[in-house]
Structure 1
Amino acid sequence: MRYFSPKTLLFGLGLLAAASTANAQTADRKTAIGLHANATQYRGDLGNNFFEFKNMPYSGGIDINRYIGKVLDIKLDLDYTRLRSPAEEDKFNSAGRRFRAQTYGAGLGFKIKAPINDNFFLHPYVLIEPGFAWVATDRYATPTSGNNFTRFGTFTGQIGGGLDFHLGESAILFLQASQSYMQTSDARLDGVDNNATTFWDKKDRYLTFSAGLRANLGKAKDADGDGVSDKKDKCPGTPTGVKVDVNGCPIDTDGDGVADYQDKCPDVKGLAALQGCPDADGDGVADADDKCPNTPAGVRVDASGCPLDTDGDGVADYQDKCSDTPAGVKVDATGCPLDRDGDGVPDFQDRCPDRAGPASNKGCPEIKAEAKKILNEATKYINFDFNKATLKSSSYSKLDQMVQIMNDYPDYSLSIAGHTDSKGADDYNLRLSYERAASARKYLLDKGISADRIEARGYGETKPIASNTTAAGQALNRRVDFDPYLTGETNAAEAKYGAAPSISEIRSAGEKLPGKKTTGTGAPRSRKSPMKKAPARKK
């Protein structure tokens, strides 16, 4: 009989290991197939070779392993086993017999494993395996008779233990030691019956030391196709094509909790809310998009990461003490409208931004009571020649006082309104009222008051302040009113008496004064004014 070569067995084991590409056997890949080599040590009536590791016969086999659970596998062994007497000098028994046997066996074993995680590299186990063997033994042979094999079938059993080594993700190396028994009640294995009465003494037995490689069959289930089996995948449902780690979770290079495929800044730790990008000042705008990366904590920002400036005055809200400033208004460093004269009225509302005045007068100085009195009484002292628009010399001093007032209050304009009594034709009186107003205006202009600060118009006999039925009343109605008002505000005369075209408007239109031409108009030749010309009024 030709014996199984150990070199051939080892070569086969090498091929099996090279071909193995599956993961170590787990619940994902339940079936594994392997090759193994055996070395046996006999103990029986012809001697005891247990734990004598020289001159051991070698053999081998195939095993198929099925994963049942974390603590149990079922194993099918198909083995060719060789047995012989312990040593060369004991090859023959006292009857001149020698012992050598070969068995072809099959066993269905139960591997009880230590409850270790499937992914751990080392798995110890205990094996209990009943089986059946076909035995060919030369127990009746003698040195002179040659081979005289006896063949028979018998039930077998073995118990032992072993270690499974998971070699990375490619194969399993296993080492196993077991003691085997054969059900041979008539000592047919070695041909000697010692007439023992106990099981342990009567039964011939042998130790088997096995080593082999096993590869898994099939393919682990991987629903998301990321290369990590569903059993091990801690992140099932990963999108197709996304790189994953050994746990099946998307790679997160910077470790910020945002997977690289979703991370706009994969190499720098960032925030999930900003798709993995950092936000140094914590304003909710990623540093790469933040035009103001050093905004203080808690400050509200716009889309560019800069502090909000609600009113657009160039001062951020968190520094702006006047956050509702109208658009276009100049402000100071605190965001409040400029107030050059410090009167509490901001320049954009101040009709006199360079001269202090109360808010009730739009930030302009109020005309003093003495000046107001002069203006109010002027109508009593401004006189004209009878039926003419020529100023009497007695009027000059009062007009000069008006010039002084206009120079003292450059933010004011002056309204001049001419009036007559009811004597004469209406159109004549209208013309006369215009001419008298024009005469007073000319006097002031000649004294250096700017033309755009004086408006003059006539109302004729339409605005009496006394009855025209008496001489006294008529005298009161023949008058010229002088009313100051802030430049730009409603003309004082129009406010009192209603709209009427001014002399400037009439002349700029190229028209003549309204009404019938009077018997004579005129104004005195201009005298040199002892006063300085008024400064230019700020518009």
Structure 2
Amino acid sequence: MFFKPQLLRGAALGAVMLGMVAPHAQAQTPDRKTALSANVGLLQYRGNMGSDFWNRSGNDLMVGGGGAITRYLSPSFDVALLGYYETYKFSSELRAGENFDARIGMVDLGIKLKLNNGKILKEESFIQPYLMGGGGMFLANSSGRANGQDFGINQIRRPEVFGQAGLRFRLSEVVSLDLTTSYHYPFTERVDNLYGPTVNPDKLYDRFLLHQAGITVALGKAKDEDKDGVSDKKDKCPGTPAGVAVDPNGCPLDKDGDGVPDYQDKCPDVKGVAALQGCPDRDGDGITDADDKCPDTPGKAELGGCPDADNDGVIDQNDKCPGTPAGVKVDANGCPLDRDGDGVPDYQDRCPDRAGPASNKGCPEIKAEAKKRLQEATKFINFEFNKAVLLPSSYPTLKDLAALMSEYPDYTMSIAGHTDSKGADDYNLRLSYDRAASARTYMLSQGVPADRIESRGYGETKPIADNAKAAGQALNRRVEFDLYLTGEPNSAEVKYGPAPTISELQKTPEGRPTAGKAPVKKAPAKKAPAKKAPVKRK
């Protein structure tokens, strides 16, 4: 059974009516992926009898009809199933008296490349060019006169390939107009019944152009995820909660125009700010006027919207100590706390729980008796000969110093070791470091925290007596103990400067600093020993 024109005309009419009665239909989109098309067309032939490509003046003007089902794949591609039928007549001008009549149908599957893919043209462009290619079946019944003889009906069922160029015009959101031209190449030469060894035996010559015009409508329903009655494509406010009244753009209503939709606006009739759920805030302090105790002066929420210039938690009108530095704890009047009542506020008091004068940063001063114990301690610290090993006679003094530190918990102890000038500079420096460290180690064993005691060595660089005399050398061999407020500069460093290093000693004239040392006359010229060995000392 062959194609019937009545069926194709009916299909085309049905597609037109669908476009008219579907007011919510749109051109084919990701929301409406399936589309129907109905077309009218005009075939043109080229073959052994001649050609009427781009010219039908010599033949009767006849039209056919067709349709298509198209499925959206992506912004760039669609797939389409196409059908077309026409009764076609051709009279040859090259071969007098020869002609053919044919009922021709074509069913093809094609892939469409759309140029309105968002890269070349916008998807919603008015003009939407495209290209299509594919293949299918060429179906024909043909009869006529060829080679001087009449021929009966040739029934043709052969594959074909085709290529198509088209323009789609987006007439409205409902209907699109398509204008296309396609080139069909059926694998047959029997439409005009001219074939065989005497007529181009190596070529299949029967070819056709098909020009069509038609309409396309898309099927389906646009997505409306938030179900507000506005399609997702047009919805400028997707995700609107169910039941919320919206405007034509799909956005929630906002009666007072403050940018806060009515369904979220706690003050829907008064223009406000979004941060306060649509309620007004005259002074802009983030507190609604209804809750603000100082509505015309910016303030803090925790203070009822009233100002606190120094940020101490007491509003300005009640603050007796305005200008308190940031972060300082204050009492109910806004004045800095002074827990020990010494007149030094806690934020300036290095010892906030122990009273002391402001001249000592609020800490207890070291008593004269304690200073005396520190000064005399150096006399009782003794070491093994030429070593950093404490003699047991030193232990009582060090235990007393450990007890002294517990009396002054806000202080740190500095231990500084010194030597006389006998021996090599680097040896003396190491020995002074080691002896100070040895005293520190013993005090740590008595429970003094490690972060409250520091030791260092100055070698022979800080004499307190003349090294030219034995009595002066004995005084210079010493370990000094000092207390200083924790966090203040080290007392030994204040007194003597930074502890030296061996490399620093090597840069000074004659290998050591000369401050505090009497110059020593050189003996008559004699051959000096190759290297100065360490001198034994007590």
TM superposition score normalised by structure 1:
0.46
TM superposition score normalised by structure 2:
0.46
| Larger-gyration structure (1/2) | 1
